[in-house]
Amino acid sequence: MTARAVPFLTFQPPRGPSASEAMEFWTSLFDDGEIVSVTHRPDDPNAVVLAEFVVAGQRLRCSDSPPVHQWDFSPAVSLWVDCESGDEQERLLAALATGGREFMPLDDYGFGPFAWVEDRFGVSWQLAAPAA
């Protein structure tokens, strides 16, 4: 088998939302959104041991960490989405920014319409659309 890199997101439910909440939200936003697999902890059916899902053509994995760590998500690592249209970009931006924050509001920064947002789960998204 050829090695394959898959982005992995570690959630810390005692500090905020869970992996299940994030997956359900994100997969609802994208036409290809799909939860591929989920394994829960036997002692806590709400806690995700390992899950795999797809959004915007990208497979990701995630889990709920039992220990609480000193670190959390950083905007230095983000998910880049090539939107098919300005309408899609605006829809995703509105949904992802709700309860989150915008780092770069929707504008043309010299390379076409672009926005950078952190969602309510602390994950950073860069949303690009074709120039008009």
Would 73 be classed as within a structural domain?
no
Residue 75 has pLDDT above 80, yes or no: yes
Residues 100 and 56 placed together within one structural domain of the fold: no
Cβ 93 vs Cβ 100: under 8 Å: no
Residue 129 has pLDDT above 90, yes or no: yes
Q: Mean pLDDT over all residues of the chain?
A: 95
For range 33-47, the mean pLDDT: 95
Residues 91 and 121 placed together within one structural domain of the fold: yes
For range 119-128, the mean pLDDT: 97
Expressed as residue numbers, the domain containing 86 is 78-128
CATH number at residue 90: 3.30.720.110
- What's the structural domain count of the chain? 2
Residues 49 and 94 placed together within one structural domain of the fold: no
